Amino acid sequence: MKTRLSALAASSALVAFLAACGAPHSSTPANADISATSSPSAITAANVSNSDISFAQLMIPHHQQAVEMADLALSRVTSPEVKELAEQIKAAQDPEIEMMSMWLQRWGAPMGMGEDHSGHDMGDMNMTGMMSDDDMRALADAQGAAFDSLWLELMIAHHQGAISMAKQVKGSSSNAEVITLAGAVITGQKVEIDTMQKLLAQ
């Protein structure tokens, strides 16, 4: 119960933050020269670093895979606790995807880097914790309690990757929105990892 209350508190704080960020605004001066570009290093938005841009570009597909995994769990999971957790993950990460997409649009940055990152200054950001195609196929093929266990194991690794990415950008960013979201990812996903580890041990 204490773990769930902590997760709900973290989610409530993030919802308030997302609502505040949803209002039309921009931290970019009106005379800033921002145009869509394939290279984050060309972005000139005030108070936005290459790390901020790379974080959003990499975390969006990272979150999208987590939502895909959550949707798969909702269609076949057997444990009500795991189903509740999948719902919680989807509810948290869908609006974060929307917000990071809004940032990239506002910053004049492309939504993604593409497969070839050569020539891109990624601001030392690395995408970690993503499931391979083989992992996703194994999860899709699993049934019953075996599915529940595999889903928990893979989601723990996925969350650990997201936390690593959030720590990277939090340590280098000076953008308040990015720092706040990174902190919410770290706090919320640590709570969820603790819950998943306890479910695996049962």
Domain containing residue 65: CATH number: 1.20.1260.10
CA distances from 34 to 29, 67, 188, 199 (A): 10, 31, 33, 47
Question: C-alpha dihedral over 9, 12, 16, 21, to 10 degrees?
Answer: 100
Name the domain count of the chain: 1
Rounded Cα distance, 163 and 151, in Å: 18
DSSP 116-143: --TT---TT----SPPPHHHHHHHHH--
Residue 186 placed within a domain: yes
pTM check: above 0.85: no
Q: What sign does the CA torsion over 19, 23, 29, 32 have? A: positive
Condensed to tens digits (0 to 9), the pLDDT of residues 14-61 reads: 444 444 444 333 333 332 232 333 343 344 466 899 999 999 999 999
**H/E run at residue 75:** helix 50-76
Residue 176 placed within a domain: yes
Residue 6 placed within a domain: no
- Residue located via tokens 């196929």: 137
Condensed to tens digits (0 to 9), the pLDDT of residues 130-169 reads: 999 999 999 999 999 999 999 999 999 999 999 999 999 9
Residue 61 placed within a domain: yes
Residue 37 placed within a domain: no
**Domain region containing 56:** 48-112+124-201
- Residue located via tokens 């391979």: 132
